[in-house]
Amino acid sequence: MANLSSNFIGIKSPNPFWLASAPPTDKEYNVVRAFKAGWGGVVWKTLGEDPEVVNVNGPRYGAIHGRDRNLIGFNNIELITDRPLEVNLREIKRVKRDWPDRAMVVSLMVPCEEQNWIDILKRVEETEADGIELNFGCPHGMSERGMGSAVGQVPEYIEMVTRWCKQHTRMPVIVKLTPNITDIRNPARAAKAGGADAVSLINTINSIVSVDLDAMAPNPTIDGRGAHGGYCGPAVKPIALNMVAEIARDAATHGLPISGIGGVTTWRDAAEFMALGAGTVQVCTAAMTYGFKIVEEMIDGLSDWMDEKGYTSTDQFIGRAVPNVTDWQQLNLNYVVKAKIDQDACIKCGRCHIACEDTSHQAITAMKDGERHFEVIDAECVGCNLCVSVCPVEDCITMEQMTEGVDPRTGKLIDPAYANWTTHPNNPNRVMDAAE
C-alpha cells in the first residue's frame, strides 16, 4: 500500500482526504464518527461570533437528480454554525486531543474588523487546532451581512484580513475562495500577498437549483419563497478543477499550496485535483450523500492507483498535470485526429450520426449499401470529439491521430512539427520572425 500521508503546510494527516467545513463537521459527534471511519482531517464548520446565527426552519437543501435519483448537484442555504462559540471550541479541543494524528482545521468568519479577528483567533489557538481556514466563500446569507463571499469578491479585503490573521496567530492560514468571481487568480494572488499559507477552493456557487412550477418559487421553498443557495456536488467539479489549475499555473501563485474542493466523490476525483496541484482535497456532498464510509473507497482507490503507477507518496504526482494545462493559443494546430468507430462495438443507435449531422460537420454516415451503418467520413471529420461524447458505448469511438499523409479534409500534408496560433498566418497578431 502506497504511503498516503500528507503534510500540508505543516498540517499532518494520515491521508489527504479531509471533510470540508460544512454540516458534517459541525459537531464533535459527527467529527468523531468521521475520524473513526478513516478521514484524514476535518475543517470544522465555520465559527462566528456570538450570539450564534439562526438557520431557517424550512428546508435548507435542494438537489439535481439523475433519473435513478443519483445526486448530481446539491444546493444549500445553511449558514455557519448555529451553536454557541464556546461549545464548538470545547469540542474542537477535545477532539484534537483524542485524535492527535488527524488534521483539525477551524473555519472562521467574523466581521471585517481587525479586533474581531484578533479575538476569535486567540480563542481558537487555545484549542490547539492545527490551522485555520478563512471562510471568504459562502455565497448565501452571511454574504448579505458583509462576510463570506462578500469578502472573497474583493481581493483587497482578502489581503487585509489574511494579513491580520497571519499577524495575530501562529497557526497556518488557509484562505477559502469563492468561485463567484470573474477571475479566480485575483483573489488567490491577494491571499498570497496577505501571507496566506494556502488557499482552498472552491466554495459553493450561487445557484437556484430548480423552480417549483406549482408554487412558482425557487427550491428549496420556504413559505412560498426561496433564496439563492450555494451549488456543490459532482456537477461543480469541472469548474473547481479549472480554478485550481488556474491558480496552480499562474506565475504569481504557482507553488502556493492548494486544498482542492468541489464535487470530490471518488478517489479518482481526488487524484485529478491533486494532479492539478491540490495537496489535499476536501469533501462534503459525497459524505452527505453516502455517509462517511466512502473514505474507505477513496483511500483504497488512491492507494491502488498509486501502486499501479509506481508512486510511493502523493508528492510524486501532486501538480504533475499542471505543466500540461496551457492557453488555447499554445495548442498544437498541426495535431490532426479523426474519429474512428469500432464497428464490432457499435450498437447502431445512430446518436453519433444525428449529433454530427444536425449540429456539427456531417461527417458520419447513417446508411451504407441500404444498411444502417455509421462510419466516419474522414474528409469531413474535424476531430471534434462530439461523437465520442454522445456515444453510449465506452471506447466504441476513438480519436485516432494522423501522423503522416494528407488530411483528406484540408488536403494538407500532415506536418509533424509543432505550430500554434501565435505564429499562424491567419493570426493578425502573430509573432513575426525577428529576421523578417
Partner 1 sequence: MADALSAPDIRSGRLTPEDYLENFDDLHPPLGAHEASVEADRCYFCYDAPCTIACPTSIDIPKFIRQISTGNPIGSAKTIFAENILGGMCARVCPTETLCEEACVRNLAEDKPVQIGLLQRHATDIYLSEPDRHPFERAPETGRKVAVVGGGPAGLACAHALARRGHAVTIFDARDKIGGLNEFGIAAYKSTDDFAQFETEFVLSIGGIVVECGKALGRDITLADLRRDFDAVFLGMGLAGVNALRAEGEELAGVIDAVAYIAELRQAEDLSTLPVGRKVVVIGGGMTAIDIATQIKRLGAEEVTIAYRRDREAMKASAYEQEIALTDGVVIREWLQPKRLLGEAGHVTGIELERTAEDAGGRLAGTGETVTLQADQVFKAIGQSFVADPLGAGDVPALEGGRIRVDGDRRTSLADVWAGGDCVAGGEDLTVAAVEDGKVAAAAIHAALSA
Name the minimum Å distance from CB 346 to partner 1: 8
Instruction: Please identify, using beta-carbon distances, which residue of 65 and 254 lies nearer to partner 1.
Output: 65
Q: Which three cell numbers stand for residue 381?
A: 471529420
CB within 8 Å of 111: residues ≥ 6 apart: 49, 145, 146, 147
Q: CA 224, CA 424: separation in Å to the nearest integer?
A: 57
Coil, strand, or helix at residue 404? Answer: coil
Q: Can 387 be counted among the known catalytic residues?
A: no
Q: Which of 112, 138, 356, 396 is catalytic?
A: 138
Q: Which of 96, 95, 113, 105 is nearest to 134 (CA)?
A: 105
Q: Which three cell numbers stand for residue 127?
A: 484549542
Name the minimum Å distance from CB 375 to partner 1: 14
Coil, strand, or helix at residue 62? Answer: strand
Asked if residue 220 has a cis previous peptide bond (ω within 30° of 0), the answer is yes
Instruction: Please identify, using beta-carbon distances, which residue of 56 and 354 lies nearer to partner 1.
Output: 354
Instruction: Please identify, using beta-carbon distances, which residue of 323 and 392 lies nearer to partner 1.
Output: 392
Instruction: Please identify, using beta-carbon distances, which residue of 289 and 365 lies nearer to partner 1.
Output: 365
Instruction: Please identify, using beta-carbon distances, which residue of 254 and 348 lies nearer to partner 1.
Output: 348
Coil, strand, or helix at residue 293? Answer: coil
Per-residue DSSP letter, 284: -
Name the minimum Å distance from CB 374 to partner 1: 9
Q: Which of 177, 213, 210, 212 is nearest to 192 (CA)?
A: 177
Instruction: Please identify, using beta-carbon distances, which residue of 38 and 350 lies nearer to partner 1.
Output: 350
- Judge whether 83 and 112 are in contact, CB under 8 Å: no
Specify the length of the chain in residues: 436
Per-residue DSSP letter, 72: E
Q: CA 264, CA 64: separation in Å to the nearest integer?
A: 16
Name the minimum Å distance from CB 234 to partner 1: 17
Name the minimum Å distance from CB 326 to partner 1: 35
Coil, strand, or helix at residue 236? Answer: helix
Instruction: Please identify, using beta-carbon distances, which residue of 69 and 170 lies nearer to partner 1.
Output: 69
Residues that bind partner 1 (CB under 8 A): 66-69, 346-351, 353-354, 366, 372, 392-393
Name the minimum Å distance from CB 214 to partner 1: 13
Q: CA 233, CA 75: separation in Å to the nearest integer?
A: 8
Name the minimum Å distance from CB 348 to partner 1: 6
Torsion of CA 262, 263, 264, 270, to 10 degrees: -60
Name the minimum Å distance from CB 199 to partner 1: 39
Distances in whole angstroms, Cα of residue 28 to Cα of each of 31, 78, 89: 5, 19, 10
Give the CB-side neighbour count of residue 337, counting CA atoms within 13 A: 15
Distances in whole angstroms, Cα of residue 396 to Cα of each of 204, 346, 366, 372, 385: 36, 6, 16, 16, 12
Provide the angle, in degrees to the nearest 10, between the axes of the packed helices 114-125 and 155-168: 40
Q: Which residues are annotated as catalytic?
A: 138
